[in-house]
Chains A and B, each alone.
Chain A
């Protein structure tokens, strides 16, 4: 047996048996690979289950958050409030989370911001607020000097109104007097699709300069300020919810296709494994038979 193996190794370059020798060596490698792919499949499958459960909750909560965010937007639409993108201080908010493995949800946002920043009119400065580690990792490499602040620990738990309030509060008291602000987030559409949305945010000054603001009765500075701060929080809350739902749905589809791909790989590897095993057996039989025949 050993002799046979040694012989064939010596004849490595000449006989077609070489493939079989290598096969024998790879039989172990194939089975190891098979095992690892199988455990990866188990992981992706359970991740899919987890995100499916999280998605169904996020989807349920999104329904009321959508009404809420929509309600906050109505006034800004009706009063025709606009901000001028020529004004010097810009603010960009990137709504992502800490967790990866969810397709292009986060990189899509980072890509859009990366494309938008050089397009800003000259003479303006832009500061970036990153919500979630993912956007920070991507954007801080490119726009290191423009990072204003970042928030992490987003995405473990479903976002709630307090999170939005903390974010809004930190932005307002950061001391950066922006006059043109945009928030980038993903709007959930279906399980397999989401759309990048850019939501303009308004400052108190934008509000008081709007043309239609005069039709609103009995407004004083204090009411308008409180109103605007609350509206900002509501919009951030809505964006967080939309983002969370897109993320979970996207992770669900990503993990589903990963499971499917792992399944295909397992099929192929099993086939190769069995074929290799078969040929090893055949070869060993040939060795035994030819050895016995040589002894006659």
Chain B
């Protein structure tokens, strides 16, 4: 009896699976619309590429970008941009500052002032730099120097966080 029920349920299941499969197909066709560009002055990481998802740190809070995201503009803050490519591999990059633009045709541009692959970062150099920046913050006298030193300290903090 139980066997019979399974037999009756099975076609339903397959049909459902198929629906899921076609649904996923539709989505992946939707991915084709996301044209992702990620560059810094020195290097280009993605140019009009299709990716599944991009997570970005911005001053209005970190957020994830999926295809057909609502158009918006944002300003990058120091942190990690992680890109999930179409085959599911995740790549992480550190960015210092820059802009994010998401347009209504689902094209996304991330322009970083400086960027590096996470694996290229040197923990020791970051520690030294962080100490130097902290000293500069203490010794800074003018308002502008203080602000600049504060930015450096924030950036180094983000770098250290990115590595852990």
A224 and B73 contacting across the interface, CB-CB below 8 Å: yes
Q: Collect the chain A residues with CB atoms within 8 Å of residue B43's CB.
A: 64
Query: Which of these binds chain A: B10-18, B26-34, B105-113, B116-124?
Result: B105-113
- Report Cα–Cα, A234/B110, bound state, in Å: 12
A234 and B73 contacting across the interface, CB-CB below 8 Å: no
Q: Which residue of A lies closest to B113 (CB)?
A: A161
- Report Cα–Cα, A65/B39, bound state, in Å: 9
Known contacts A223-B60, A230-B75: does B101 contact A67 (CB below 8 Å)? no
Known contacts A74-B107, A75-B101, A231-B99: does B73 contact A68 (CB below 8 Å)? no
Verify if B88 is at the interface (C-beta below 8 Å from A): no
B41 and A65 contacting across the interface, CB-CB below 8 Å: yes
Known contacts A65-B41, A161-B113: does B73 contact A227 (CB below 8 Å)? yes
B99 and A227 contacting across the interface, CB-CB below 8 Å: yes
Q: Collect the chain B residues with CB atoms within 8 Å of residue A217's CB.
A: 70-72
B44 and A63 contacting across the interface, CB-CB below 8 Å: yes
Q: Collect the chain B residues with CB atoms within 8 Å of residue A71's CB.
A: 37, 39, 101, 109-111
B75 and A68 contacting across the interface, CB-CB below 8 Å: no
Known contacts A75-B73, A226-B75: does B103 contact A64 (CB below 8 Å)? no
B71 and A68 contacting across the interface, CB-CB below 8 Å: no
Verify if A278 is at the interface (C-beta below 8 Å from B): no
Give, as a whole number of angstroms, the nearest-CB distance from A72 to chain B: 6
A74 and B101 contacting across the interface, CB-CB below 8 Å: yes
Q: Collect the chain B residues with CB atoms within 8 Å of residue A234's CB.
A: 99, 111
A227 and B44 contacting across the interface, CB-CB below 8 Å: no
Q: Which residue of A lies closest to B114 (CB)?
A: A161
Please classify how large the interface on chain A is, using the bins under 10, 10 to 19, 20 to 34, 35 or more. Answer: 20 to 34
Verify if B59 is at the interface (C-beta below 8 Å from A): yes
- Chain B proximity mask over A152-163: 1 for CB below 8 Å, otherwise 0: 000000001100
A216 and B42 contacting across the interface, CB-CB below 8 Å: no
Which of these, B41, B75, B105, contacts A64 with CB under 8 Å?
Answer: B41
Q: Collect the chain B residues with CB atoms within 8 Å of residue A79's CB.
A: 103
Known contacts A64-B41, A68-B39, A74-B103: does B74 contact A223 (CB below 8 Å)? yes
B104 and A72 contacting across the interface, CB-CB below 8 Å: no
B99 and A67 contacting across the interface, CB-CB below 8 Å: no
Verify if A180 is at the interface (C-beta below 8 Å from B): no
Q: Collect the chain B residues with CB atoms within 8 Å of residue A237's CB.
A: 41
- Report Cα–Cα, A70/B44, bound state, in Å: 12
Q: Which of B25-68 contact A (CB under 8 A)?
A: 37, 39-44, 47, 59-60
B73 and A216 contacting across the interface, CB-CB below 8 Å: yes
Q: Which of A207-254 contact B (CB under 8 A)?
A: 212, 215-219, 223-224, 226-227, 230-231, 234, 237
Verify if A144 is at the interface (C-beta below 8 Å from B): no
Give, as a whole number of angstroms, the nearest-CB distance from B72 to chain A: 4
Verify if A78 is at the interface (C-beta below 8 Å from B): yes
Give, as a whole number of angstroms, the nearest-CB distance from A117 to chain B: 32
Interface centre among B37, B44, B47, B111 (most CB of A within 10 A): B111
Q: Which residue of B lies closest to A78 (CB)?
A: B103
Question: What are 17 A-B pairs with beta-carbon distances under 8 A?
Answer: A67-B37, A68-B39, A74-B37, A74-B107, A78-B105, A79-B103, A161-B113, A215-B71, A215-B104, A216-B71, A216-B72, A216-B73, A217-B70, A218-B60, A219-B73, A226-B59, A237-B41
Known: A68-B40, A71-B110, A75-B103. 11 other contacts (CB 8 A): A67-B47, A68-B44, A71-B39, A71-B109, A74-B101, A79-B103, A215-B104, A216-B73, A223-B60, A230-B113, A237-B41
